[in-house]
Structure formats: structure tokens, C-alpha cells
């Protein structure tokens, strides 16, 4: 393969809903780029993109696959991203390294929820978008429905460069209103003839050409002036205006394609080559690259996929990892298309490739020339929407399970694994139940591990609602030195202004603060600790021990063993012994006095509340609202977005286990949602009673 300079490189991500035909389109692009000489199909399980076993079984993409095509003097790098939101991590990785997006739309369905989801993601990433209307050869394809759907979803942004001829099973070409030619396809291998526009399509072509010229003029003042003066633009001028609108995100050029029959693919690739946004890196700068994906291949080991961000990368060049300073030197570089890898002598700024067996080749890593100081921000993946607890069916396999999950997370950073000390569970999080089921499949089939997935415990919190006092004396004498420490304390909620006047033992008492310690707790909330002891009843040196005892008790709250938070503690009296008082005695006294006071202070269990936003077709709005209310959700604003209903609600985390599965069921898989932690709120009385009973039963069982 020859070396390509930055100006001749284009990087594109293929996005769209499941079943829109991205993988089939990718096969046609590979075929036109002479990377393959025979196109595979999803049904035959022999595509370049879907090479993993789980993808062949499910006949759909699970992982984002980097590929390339050499076409008319340019190199087009493209990444086929999965169409299910459960596997959106691959698209987010691609957004980091691509300057262009092709949003593939199914001509049978129009703009689906999945289309809208990935459109939103691409918009947020700032990528200009090309609309590729695919599967125009399908029996149910409907061009007019398609146009109405695009208008409803994207307003005036779609700019039509083509319209299909004979959409449906007889689809065999299109009229290109940019070149004002009719492209007729003679077979299913991309062989076409360029003809004059047939008379029956002439009027429609003239109308759409005029619309295209007017749109192109909108994006360039000089072109607008010429258009007003002459009423038309040349093809090059149209391309110039269209390029400006495309790059700014104000124009979505629309192309008619059929990946299966290789119709319209050349024209699409020509547009990417000539109008697509080029990479920004400079070849003259120090060499640097960003690793956006890592994988493990059976015969190669670890493979790191990267984009050259600046300079020229070649074997034998030294690099260092931007954070740790770890050293790297590449022995060989490869251009990559699925499992196919072609050795290359160098890759210039903007190009993509891969390298094997790096020491510092982890995803989300920058490697740069030593001393250059170059570093690139990490990929920001979406927050997890599905969480469950996981354990090995055989306890002896727990270590093996931990190692396997670490490897899976290494390959897919959207698989999040953490051991919760609070819950005493390993928590597995991902983008949906399908995502987690893929992880389970890999554990079963690749690592020979049998595992259990089940509902995780909820990270409740405990707090108090009123004032209470307690005292505790720790006294122990067992020959020799004893233990003695007595603590009197008062607790109240840590809210509002600090008040130091209380009724203690029936008397109004003004507490005078001598020292204080305010701790922001790692699990949220705070502990305010005030020493109000007078007359030397407790030596100042024992205060840290009392505070330590209280913190120990807060780690395992008295009600359900959950973390306690948002509490003020005033130590106002106590006793000590000149010989037997020791730190341990005051730790125990502080811990037990706090426990008793807590129980008498109107204790309340708090639960985590999440803000949930659901995007659904309007016909399912009622079912979604009813389901959220059944989950103790409090509905908020209702809205619409490009023809879809948007529901917002505050929902307890305890009610969200497997919500993604239920939502898919009640909307026939056409809705999606996001969830984000909001705050902690008191649980209802009946829920608290149930939780207390469950905890009491658990303690009894453990005893």
C-alpha cells in the first residue's frame, strides 16, 4: 500500500439503526476500494465487519470494526458501528477519531428511534452528517414516506443530491441532480452506465436541481450573490456551497444507495473523497497518535487500533505514553480491515492503523514523541443504563472470573466492573441487558465460566430527622490495666444553620463549641463533629478516638447496615480515668453512644433517585408513563423531539432493575432511555418497614 498524505485521507463512521444495512454497505465500499474481490453477506456470516462468533450467531454488529478503501487516489478509513444502543460504545470511540458520519437510513422504515439516537450522538460529537438512504431495492421501500420522515426528523437540513428510479424490487438506478445525469446499473457489482435523464424524470430533476442550487447558495455569500444575478450555479460552485453547509452541520446531503446491489456506492465515496472533511493534523509536527480501540486476537494477542494525530508514524520511531511516560517502539504497522491486516511503511497525520503487543497500548491512551508534551482528551462514553450483580457459580472460580471480566472491560470500556465494599457484591454495568448478555456469553464460551447474574443490592443511606441524646460507658477490668471511657453526646440532622441550644435531660442547655471537625463523606453527605466538653471531663486527646468510633458506626448504619450521612454530633460530657482511660475505650464508647442516639433520633432510610428520560414513539407514550408510575416514578415534563415523545421522571434506583428490558417489551424495541443519578430521598413508610424486616431476618440468619 502506498503512503497517503493528510489531504488525501478521509475518516468516516457508519452509524444508524439496527437492520439499516451498514455492514452490507461497508462490504460494497470494501469491494469498490479493491480490498475484497467478493462481497459477503450478513446471512452467509462472511462479512469483513462482523467476524466475531457472537456477531455471526446474532447476525448483527456487536463491535465497531475499522476498515479502509483506496479509491481514486484517496484513502477512506471507515468504521462500521453497531446499530443497537446497547453497543453504542463503538460509535463513541469512532466519533473521537472520525471527521465525518454517514447516517444510514432504512428506506422501508424511515427515521427510527435508533436513527434518531445515533443522529443525536453524532450531533453532540460535532460531526457533519451524510444521509445514505439504503435498501431502496426492498419490496416495502417508500421514497415519499422516506422524504417526509427525513423532513420531520431533521427539518430543512436534508439536501437531496439524487432521487431513485424504480424504488422497490426493480430498483436499478438514480437520477443525480448534482451532475444532472441518470446512473443506470447493469448488474449487482456496481457496473453502471451514465446516461441522459429520461424524459419522464426531466421535470422532477429540474425541480430538485433548482432546490439544490438554492440550498448550496445559502451557505456562501459570494455564491448567493451570483445566484441572485444569474439564477444558476456551476457544478463546482454547487459542490463548494454544499461543502460549506455540510462542514457546518447545516446541510445533510442525501444519497440513494443499495449496499446489497452496490448501487450508488461509488457516487457516495466520490462525495466523501471530494467534499468530506479532511483530518486536522499536520505532518510536519512531532509524531503522536491516539489509541481508540483495543482487542485480543487469537493468533496475534493484543491489538491496538489508533489514529495518527500529528506527524508521521513509522516502525522504529520512539514514543512515550503521555501520563506514565512509558516507552514504546513499533516493530510493524498495519492498515486494517476486520481481520485483514496489510503491512505499511508509514502512516501520516490523520491516517488510521493498528499495531500489536504494545506495553502501553490501552484504549484511551496517547502515545507521542518523547518531550513533545502532546496529549489528547479521553473518549467520554455514555453512562451505564443497566447494572446487575455477578458471581461465579463455583466459588473457587471467583479469581478466574475477576481476571476474565478485566480482559472483557479492557476490550470494551463500556463494560464497567467494580467490587462494592458497601454492598459486598461485584457489580457489572453496561448499556443494556443485551450488552450484559454478550458479556455472559463470552464468559461461558470464551472463558469456560458459569456465572450467575442477579439484582444488585441498592446503596441505601441512613440519616436522622430529630434530636436525641445518649451516653455510654465502656468499662472493662480483667486483671492488670483496664479500659474506661464514658461519652455523652447529642445528635441532630446536619441541615440549616448551626444551632447550639438544646434541651438535655429536661433542661435548656447552651453548648459551647471548643473544637470541630467537618467531614465530607466519600459516600455522599457529611458528618459534623463538635467538641463541647467543659471542665476537662474528657481530655482533648481522646476526641479523635470518639470521632473514629462514630465514623466506624456510620460505615454500617444501625438500621440496615447502609452508610449513614448528614448528621451533627455534639459531645457535651463524659468521664475518664487517670489510669484506665485509653483510646480504644473511647472508640467503643463513642461508637455505642452514637448507635443508641441514632436509633432514638427518628432514623430514616434514604434511597437513590435517578432522573430518567425516555424517548419513544408517540403511540407508546401512555404505556411508558404507566410503567414509570408503577415503579414509584414521579413524572415531570413531557415534550416532543422530532416526532418522538420525551418523558421525564424521577425514579428510585430500586425500581429500575431490568427497566431497559421492560421498556423494549412495551414499545416493541422502539424506545430508549437515559438515566442519571439525582439525589437521595426518604423511602416511603411501607418500604422502610419492609427493609427493616429484611435486614432483621438477614442478621438472624447470619447469627
Residues 297-319 have pLDDT tens digits of: 877 889 999 999 999 999 998 99
In this structure, are 178 and 34 located in the same domain? yes
CA dist 274 and 77 (Å) reads 14
Full DSSP string of 406-431: HHHHHH-TTSEEEEETTTTEEEEEES
Write the CATH number for 627.
3.30.70.240
Burial of 215 (0-12, 13-18, 19+ CB in 10 A): buried
Residues 583-594 have pLDDT tens digits of: 999 999 999 999
What do you get for the CA distance between the two ends of the chain, in Å? 71
Share of the chain above pLDDT 90, in %: 85
Contact between residue 123 and residue 250 where contact means Cβ atoms under 8 Å apart:
no
Residue 668 is predicted with a pLDDT of: 84
In this structure, are 327 and 440 located in the same domain? no
> Given pLDDT bands bounded at 50, 70 and 90, which one contains residue 1?
confident
Measured over the CA atoms of residue 565, residue 569, residue 575 and residue 579, the dihedral's sign is: positive
In this structure, are 88 and 186 located in the same domain? yes
CA dist 397 and 405 (Å) reads 12
Residue 229 covered by a domain:
no
Q: Which of 137-151, 249-263, 456-470, 688-702 has the lowest mean pLDDT?
A: 688-702
Average pLDDT estimate for 335-352: 95
**What φ, ψ does residue 549 adopt, rounded to 5°?**
-60, -40
Residue 75 covered by a domain:
yes
Write the CATH number for 412.
3.30.70.870
CA dist 77 and 667 (Å) reads 36
Domain of 343, in residue numbers: 288-368
Average pLDDT estimate for 564-572: 97
Residue 480 is predicted with a pLDDT of: 65
Residue 157 is predicted with a pLDDT of: 96
Q: Which helix (H) or strand (E) holds 19?
A: none
Write the CATH number for 85.
3.40.50.300
Residue 16 covered by a domain:
yes
Contact between residue 88 and residue 82 where contact means Cβ atoms under 8 Å apart:
yes
Contact between residue 342 and residue 2 where contact means Cβ atoms under 8 Å apart:
no
Residues 80-92 have pLDDT tens digits of: 999 999 999 999 9
Average pLDDT estimate for 180-205: 94
Residues 6+ apart with CB under 8 A from 246: 128, 130, 252, 253, 275, 277
In this structure, are 450 and 542 located in the same domain? no
Residue 477 covered by a domain:
yes
Residue 401 is predicted with a pLDDT of: 97
Residues 422-453 have pLDDT tens digits of: 899 999 999 999 999 999 999 999 999 999 99
In this structure, are 571 and 630 located in the same domain? no
What the block records as the C-alpha cell of 123 is 450531533
> Given pLDDT bands bounded at 50, 70 and 90, which one contains residue 146?
very high
Residue 210 is predicted with a pLDDT of: 95
Comparing 14 with 670, which gets the higher pLDDT? 14
Asked whether residue 703 carries a pLDDT value surpassing 60, the answer given is: no
* Average model confidence (pLDDT) across the chain: 94
In this structure, are 173 and 189 located in the same domain? yes
What the block records as the C-alpha cell of 322 is 503521555
380: nearest Cα among 46, 40, 126: 126
Write the CATH number for 526.
3.30.230.10
Residue 138 is predicted with a pLDDT of: 95
Residue 359 is predicted with a pLDDT of: 85
Full DSSP string of 117-134: HHHHHHHHTT--EEEEEE
Residue 592 is predicted with a pLDDT of: 96
In this structure, are 269 and 414 located in the same domain? no
Asked whether residue 481 carries a pLDDT value surpassing 80, the answer given is: no
In this structure, are 359 and 393 located in the same domain? no
Q: Is 186 helix (H, G, I), strand (E, B) or coil?
A: coil
Nearest-10 crossing angle of helices 659-666, 621-630? 150
Burial of 528 (0-12, 13-18, 19+ CB in 10 A): middle
In this structure, are 168 and 56 located in the same domain? yes
In this structure, are 84 and 47 located in the same domain? yes
Instruction: Tell me which of 422, 454, 486 is where a domain ends.
Output: 454
Residue 231 covered by a domain:
no
Full DSSP string of 588-648: HHHHHHHHHHHHTS--EEEEEEEEEEEEEEGGGHHHHHHHHHHTT-EEEEEEEETTEEEEE
Instruction: Tell me which of 454, 482, 505 is where a domain ends.
Output: 454
Full DSSP string of 459-506: --EEE-SS-EEEEEEEEE-SSSS-EEEEEEEEEEES-SS---EEEETT
Residue 652 covered by a domain:
yes
Look at the chain and count its residues.
703
CA dist 149 and 10 (Å) reads 29
- Looking from the CA of 553 toward its CB, the CA atoms found within 13 Å total 25
Residue 702 is predicted with a pLDDT of: 67
Residue 246 covered by a domain:
no
Contact between residue 486 and residue 682 where contact means Cβ atoms under 8 Å apart:
no
CA separation, residue 511 to residues 489, 527, 570, 658 (Å): 11, 18, 8, 51
Residue 597 is predicted with a pLDDT of: 97
Residue 323 is predicted with a pLDDT of: 84
Q: Which helix (H) or strand (E) holds 354?
A: strand 352-356
Residues 6+ apart with CB under 8 A from 358: 302, 304, 328, 330
In this structure, are 543 and 614 located in the same domain? no
Residue 425 covered by a domain:
yes
Q: In what order do the strands lie in the sheet with 425-430?
A: 416-420, 425-430, 386-392, 451-454
Instruction: Tell me which of 425, 454, 483 is where a domain ends.
Output: 454
Residues 6-28 have pLDDT tens digits of: 999 999 999 999 999 999 999 99
What the block records as the C-alpha cell of 202 is 426531466
> Given pLDDT bands bounded at 50, 70 and 90, which one contains residue 477?
confident
Asked whether residue 478 carries a pLDDT value surpassing 70, the answer given is: no
- Return the DSSP state at 561: S
Write the CATH number for 320.
2.40.30.10
Number of compact structural domains in the chain: 5
In this structure, are 413 and 323 located in the same domain? no
Nearest-10 crossing angle of helices 199-218, 221-230? 130
Burial of 556 (0-12, 13-18, 19+ CB in 10 A): middle
CA dist 256 and 657 (Å) reads 42
CA dist 60 and 21 (Å) reads 10
Helix, strand, coil percent values for the chain (each to nearest 5)? 30, 35, 35
> Given pLDDT bands bounded at 50, 70 and 90, which one contains residue 231?
confident
Residue 670 is predicted with a pLDDT of: 81
CA separation, residue 335 to residues 67, 75, 354, 357 (Å): 8, 11, 7, 16
Amino acid at each position: 500500500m502506498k503512503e497517503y498524505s493528510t489531504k488525501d485521507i478521509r475518516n468516516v463512521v457508519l452509524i444508524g439503526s439496527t437492520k439499516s444495512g451498514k455492514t452490507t454497505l461497508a462490504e460494497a465500499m470494501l469491494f469498490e476500494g479493491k480490498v475484497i474481490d467478493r462481497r459477503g453477506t450478513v446471512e452467509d456470516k462472511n462479512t469483513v465487519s462482523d467476524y466475531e462468533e457472537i456477531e455471526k450467531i446474532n447476525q448483527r454488529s456487536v463491535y465497531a470494526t475499522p476498515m479502509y478503501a483506496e479509491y481514486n487516489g484517496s484513502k477512506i478509513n471507515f468504521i462500521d458501528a453497531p446499530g443497537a444502543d446497547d453497543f453504542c460504545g463503538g460509535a463513541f470511540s469512532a466519533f473521537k477519531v472520525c471527521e465525518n458520519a454517514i447516517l444510514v437510513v432504512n428506506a422501508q422504515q424511515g427515521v427510527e428511534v435508533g436513527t434518531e439516537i445515533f443522529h443525536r450522538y453524532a450531533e453532540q460529537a460535532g460531526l457533519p452528517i451524510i444521509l445514505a438512504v439504503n435498501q431502496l431495492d426492498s419490496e416495502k421501500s417508500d421514497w415519499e414516506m422516506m422524504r417526509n420522515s427525513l423532513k420531520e426528523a431533521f427539518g430543512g437540513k436534508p439536501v437531496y443530491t439524487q432521487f431513485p428510479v424504480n424504488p422497490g424490487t426493480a430498483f436499478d438506478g438514480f437520477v443525480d441532480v448534482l451532475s444532472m445525469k441518470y446512473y443506470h446499473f447493469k448488474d449487482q457489482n456496481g457496473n453502471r452506465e451514465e446516461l441522459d435523464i429520461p424524459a419522464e424524470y426531466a421535470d422532477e430533476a429540474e425541480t430538485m436541481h433548482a432546490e439544490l442550487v438554492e440550498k448550496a447558495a445559502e451557505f456562501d455569500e459570494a455564491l448567493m450573490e451570483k445566484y441572485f444575478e444569474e439564477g444558476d450555479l456551476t457544478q463546482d460552485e454547487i459542490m463548494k456551497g454544499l461543502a460549506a453547509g455540510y462542514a457546518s452541520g447545516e446541510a445533510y446531503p442525501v444519497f440513494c444507495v443499495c449496499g446489497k446491489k452496490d448501487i450508488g456506492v461509488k457516487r457516495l465515496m466520490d462525495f466523501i473523497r471530494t467534499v468530506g472533511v479532511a483530518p486536522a493534523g499536520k505532518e510536519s509536527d512531532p509524531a503522536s497518535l491516539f489509541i481508540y480501540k483495543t482487542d485480543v486476537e487469537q493468533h496475534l494477542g493484543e491489538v491496538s487500533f489508533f489514529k495518527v494525530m500529528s506527524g508521521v508514524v513509522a516502525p522504529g520511531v520512539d514514543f512515550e505514553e503521555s501520563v506514565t511516560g512509558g516507552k514504546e517502539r513499533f516493530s510493524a504497522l498495519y492498515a486494517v480491515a476486520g481481520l485483514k491486516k496489510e503491512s505499511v511503511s508509514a502512516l501520516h497525520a490523520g491516517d488510521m492503523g493498528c499495531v500489536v503487543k504494545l506495553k502501553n497500548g490501552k484504549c484511551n491512551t496517547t502515545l507521542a514523541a518523547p518531550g513533545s508534551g502532546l496529549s489528547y482528551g479521553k473518549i467520554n462514553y455514555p453512562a451505564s443504563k443497566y447494572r446487575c450483580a455477578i458471581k461465579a457459580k463455583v466459588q473457587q472460580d471467583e479469581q478466574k472470573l475477576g481476571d476474565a471480566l478485566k480482559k472483557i472491560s479492557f476490550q470494551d470500556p463500556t463494560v464497567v466492573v467494580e467490587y462494592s465494599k458497601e454492598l459486598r457484591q461485584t457489580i457489572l454495568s453496561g448499556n443494556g441487558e443485551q450488552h450484559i448478555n454478550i458479556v455472559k456469553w463470552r464468559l461461558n464460551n470464551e472463558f469456560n465460566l458459569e456465572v450467575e447474574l442477579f439484582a444488585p443490592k441498592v446503596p441505601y443511606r441512613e440519616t436522622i430527622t430529630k434530636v436525641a441524646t445518649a451516653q455510654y460507658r465502656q468499662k472493662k477490668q480483667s486483671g492488670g490495666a483496664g479500659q474506661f471511657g464514658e461519652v455523652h453526646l447529642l445528635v441532630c440532622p446536619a441541615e440549616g444553620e448551626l444551632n447550639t441550644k438544646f434541651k438535655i435531660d429536661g433542661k435548656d442547655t447552651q453548648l459551647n463549641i471548643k473544637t470541630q471537625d467537618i467531614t465530607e463523606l466519600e459516600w455522599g453527605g457529611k458528618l459534623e463533629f463538635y467538641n463541647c466538653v467543659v471542665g476537662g471531663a474528657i481530655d482533648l486527646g481522646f476526641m479523635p478516638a470518639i470521632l473514629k468510633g462514630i465514623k466506624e458506626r456510620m460505615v454500617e448504619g444501625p438500621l440496615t447496615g447502609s452508610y449513614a450521612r448528614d448528621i451533627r454530633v455534639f459531645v457535651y460530657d463524659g468521664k475518664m480515668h487517670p489510669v484506665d482511660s485509653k483510646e480504644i475505650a473511647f472508640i467503643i464508647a463513642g461508637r455505642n453512644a452514637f448507635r443508641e442516639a441514632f436509633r432514638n433520633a427518628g432514623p430514616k432510610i434514604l434511597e437513590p433517585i435517578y432522573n430518567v428520560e425516555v424517548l419513544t414513539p408517540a403511540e407508546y407514550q401512555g404505556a411508558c408513563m404507566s410503567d414509570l408510575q408503577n415503579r414509584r416514578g414521579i413524572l415531570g415534563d413531557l415534550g416532543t423531539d422530532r416526532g418522538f415523545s420525551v418523558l421525564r421522571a424521577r425514579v428510585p434506583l430500586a425500581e429500575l432493575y431490568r427497566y431497559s428490558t421492560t421498556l423494549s417489551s412495551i414499545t416493541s424495541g422502539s424506545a430508549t432511555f437515559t438515566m442519571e443519578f439525582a439525589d437521595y430521598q426518604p423511602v416511603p413508610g411501607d418500604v422502610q418497614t419492609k427493609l427493616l424486616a429484611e435486614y432483621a431476618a438477614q442478621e438472624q440468619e447470619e447469627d
